Amino acid sequence: MPAVRCTVFGHPVAHSLSPRLHALFAEQTGIALEYTAIDAAPDEFGHAVREFFAHGGRGANVTLPHKAAAFALADVRTHTARRLGVANVLTLLPDGRVEAGSNDGAGMLADLHGRFGVDPRERDVLLLGAGGAARAAAFALLDAGARDLTLANRTPARAQALAAMLSEPKRTRVVDWGALDRCEAFDLIVNATSAGVQHEVLMLPRSLVCSRTFAYDLSYGAGAQPFMAWARQAGCAATFDGLGMLVETAAASFERWHGVRPDVDAALRDLHEGLAHPPDAAH
Ligand code: NDP
């Protein structure tokens, strides 16, 4: 049986862990898979996607900066992707159409609630950032029953735009970054900024934290370290990074394309091992 062809599109894409994760899942499930990484510049992305699906591609993960373009070029869009206006999964349907989906928010909840037991229901949540990942996180946190969602972003207008998109004025508010020191402590702080991956440290007041506060960073590895270190020092009850979210979203794509749920915990153990002892070739 010929290998199923799947890929990840990004620009750059060399850092992506998706090829490794999908290879692990394929090994676990015995599926013959050819999973590549395609680096496409924004002006080549549409052509590259059409070529991929015209030549036997079954599914594609999509990472920065193509998530909005992936949403726009699809023939069909899932309900979640329509709410967000972005997509991170493209799937070839049996009738030849390409479906755009988004599983970032579900992946975050599967990790935060499913793995770590932090249920956003009835919690006061602070969400830092207003980019694509923050958008997915915001909808997911509200859907999961967060009592109150406070949005803060370096560029306040983007937080305002996200709040307008959420259309939940009773449960959402926007706070200027500079006014965070006037907020009460939160039950949960979610960092959806890319500051850490750019080796930048967020300036956050300790008063955001009390002994019941959980901290979750969507970034992982070295990118999550500055925020996690701040959260620990500030006295958070527990801190988590987004590696599990990454594996959950990869597993959901895998299941969408192959109809089999891989073993997420086994893949996470393998990744933790790899991140603790990264091979020279990865750097
Ligand atoms: P975007 O580029 O869309 O958004 C970046 C956000 O970070 C913006 O809100 C930006 O603010 C903010 N930001 C960047 N630098 C700083 C800084 N120095 N201080 C304060 N705010 C800053 O990125 P994404 O939303 O796609 O991704 C955000 C993070 O989430 C990334 O680190 C990414 O790796 C991670 N992620 C993890 C996933 C996982 O599966 N674990 C999945 C998706 C994303 P401004 O608007 O002012 O520019």
Q: Which two tokens stand for residue 45?
A: 């992305």
Q: Which of 137, 88, 28 is nearest to 150 (CA)?
A: 137
Q: Which of 147, 204, 198, 197 is nearest to 171 (CA)?
A: 147
pTM of the predicted structure, to 2 decimals: 0.94
As a whole number of angstroms, the distance between CA 138 and CA 254 comes to 24
CB-count burial class (<10 Å; 0-12, 13-18, 19+) for 211: exposed
Question: Which atom, in ligand 1's list, is nearest to the CA of 132?
Answer: 25
272 confidence band (pLDDT: 50, 70, 90): confident
Q: Which of 86, 101, 78 is nearest to 131 (CA)?
A: 86
Residue 59, strand partner residues: 6, 91
277 confidence band (pLDDT: 50, 70, 90): low
Other beta carbons within 10 angstroms of residue 43's beta carbon come to 8
Which pLDDT belongs to residue 276?
A: 62
Ligand 1 centre to CA of 129 (Å) is: 6
Ligand 1 contact, 129 CB (< 6 A): yes
282 confidence band (pLDDT: 50, 70, 90): very low
Ligand 1 contact, 221 CB (< 6 A): no
Ligand 1 centre to CA of 194 (Å) is: 3
- Region of poorest pLDDT, from 4-8, 167-171, 274-278: 274-278
Residue 34, strand partner residues: 5
Residue 140's SS3 state is: helix
67 has catalytic annotation: yes
Q: Which of 190, 195, 209, 212 is nearest to 139 (CA)?
A: 190
Position 250 pLDDT exceeds 70: yes
As a whole number of angstroms, the distance between CA 231 and CA 206 comes to 8
Pairing of strands 89-92, 57-62: antiparallel
Mean pLDDT of the residues in the chain? 95
What is the C-alpha radius of gyration for the chain, rounded to an integer number of angstroms? 19
Query: Which residue has its alpha carbon closest to ligand 1 atom 2?
Result: 131
Position 279 pLDDT exceeds 50: no
Residues 144/120, Cβ–Cβ less than 8 Å: yes
204 confidence band (pLDDT: 50, 70, 90): very high
Question: Which atom, in ligand 1's list, is nearest to the CA of 202?
Answer: 19
Question: Which atom, in ligand 1's list, is nearest to the CA of 223?
Answer: 32
Which pLDDT belongs to residue 281?
A: 33
Q: Which two tokens stand for residue 179?
A: 């006014």
Query: Which residue has its alpha carbon closest to ligand 1 atom 35?
Result: 219
Which of 22, 58, 67, 123 is an active site residue? 67
